[in-house]
Amino acid sequence: MPPAKTSYICLPCRVSYKQPYGPERQRICPRCAQPLTHVGTAFAAPRRRDTAAWRTLTVLVNAGVGFHMGCCCGPGYRPRTLREVRERLTHARRTGEPVARALVREVL
Rounded CA separation 22/18 (Å): 12
Beta-carbon contacts of 72 under 8 Å, excluding residues fewer than 6 positions away, are none
- Residue 108 scores a pLDDT above 90: no
Confidence (pTM): 0.83
- Residue 58 scores a pLDDT above 70: yes
pLDDT over 70 for what percent of the chain? Answer: 92
Rounded CA separation 50/22 (Å): 29
Higher pLDDT, 54 or 2: 54
Taking only the tens place, the pLDDT of each residue in 1-36 is 567 889 999 999 999 999 988 878 899 999 999 999
Nearest to 60 by CA among 85, 23, 33, 29: 85
Instruction: Return the number of other C-beta atoms located less than 10 Å from residue 56's C-beta.
Output: 22
Single-letter amino acid, residue 47: R
Collapsed DSSP state (helix, strand, coil) of residue 49: coil
